[in-house]
Structures are given as structure tokens and as C-alpha cells.
Amino acid sequence: MEKTRKLINCDLGECLDPDPDGQIMPLINQASIACGGHVGNSDSMKKTVKLAKQYQVSIGAHPSYPDKANFGRVSLPMSLKSLFDSIFMQVNALEEVCLEQNVKMDYIKPHGALYHDMMHQKQIAELLCDVIKTKYPDLKLIVQAGINTKQMLAVAQEKGVQLLFEAFADRGYRGVELKSRSEQGAVLASPEEIKSQYQELMESDLFQIDTICFHSDHASSVTALQQIKTSTAC
């Protein structure tokens, strides 16, 4: 059976200094753009969407808990209504920028703790699907490959949302679970480790993987991505 092509995605528009977005954008297929929850504002979204348009990169919204202080990496105690409203507002802010530049969003990929909670709390997964169905019925939802797949597929089928399954080139795994960022080895340290894991994920058929993530705020991950694309272009 022919293996499906795996895409490369990166979380961008995160207001980093120095800003790596310009060097990363030509190397990827999908740009998950921060839209104000953990970081990001109108100016950063406009700049990043313009870059994605220039390089014909698929655009996704990258919402999070509204928690800039912790970069969206801590679960917030919020009512489901408040969380829905926050995510809806973030995605809508990016959509407005996309409309201004005559491009479309293709997917939503939650950030940080929201991503983790979506994978382990059915009501959060349902909420994200509800955000899509309320106004953005054509958007896909990126979820983690290899864990709680039956539950995620059941929720998506009930809500009528298409899923994309994601693995991480630069994050440490324990089996199919990501190591917590508080653990040693949670983030792979060297470009060589990241390239090796990327190749393993590209060749893996243990479970469905549609897209592989490299993180823009990790210098070794950016270096690995550049080296991978250079070698494949030869």
C-alpha cells in the first residue's frame, strides 16, 4: 500500500526575537499562526499571513488558553462558554486578517495546554469542533497522532469535522505519549536527534500521521528543518 505524503508544519507568528519566520516559511507546508491567546497581535498576524501567502503555505489558526504570562502552557480553570468565546475570538481575529489578504484558513491547531486538554478531555475536543462548526465548517482540526484516536474520531464524526493527525520531530516521546515539558528529554537537544526522529516518523506506519511539527522557538529544530530541506533539494 502506498504511503500518504506527510506534511511539515510549524507554529509561527509567535513574536520571537530574532524572528525566524522568514527563514522557516519557505521550508514548510503549513503555518499555525498565533492569534492572541498565548502571544500574537494584529501586526504579527498580518506579517505572518503575508509570508504564508508569498510562499503558498497553508494557514492555520493556533489558539490557546488566554494566558500570555505562561505562554499558554498551563490549563486555565474556565467555563466552557468562556473558553468557547475566547477561542472563537482568536480564530476570528486571524480570519479577518486572512480576508484582508484574500487567503483562506485551512485548519485549527490548538496550542500548549489547550492541545493537551483536547486530547484527554472529551468536552474540550467537542468544544473545538463546535467552534469550527459554528462559523468555519470547512476547517480541519489538527490532533495528536497515536493517542485516544478512537475518541477523537468519534467526536469528529459526530460533529462533522475532519481531523489531521500530527507527530512532533523535536519532542521526546515515551511510547506514543509526549514527555511532559518538565521532564528531562522532553525537547530533543540536537539537530541530529531531530532529523533522526523526523525520518523515523516519515517512515512509520504504526499509526496515521498526516503532518509533522517543528517548533520555531527551538534553534536546533530550525537548523534540523533547514538541513532536511537542503538535503532533499539536492
Residue 180 has pLDDT above 90, yes or no: no
Distance of alpha carbon 196 from the chain centroid: 21
pTM score, whole prediction? 0.94
Residue 231 has pLDDT above 80, yes or no: no
Which residue reads 506506519 in cell numbers? 205
Class of domain 7-233: alpha beta
Give the separation between CA 215 and CA 36, rounded to whole angstroms.
18
pLDDT band at 233 (very low <50, low <70, confident <90, very high): low
Give the separation between CA 185 and CA 126, rounded to whole angstroms.
31
Give the separation between CA 98 and CA 91, rounded to whole angstroms.
11
Domain range annotation of the chain: 7-233
pLDDT single digits (tens) 19-75:
999 999 999 999 999 999 999 999 999 999 999 999 999 999 999 999 999 999 999
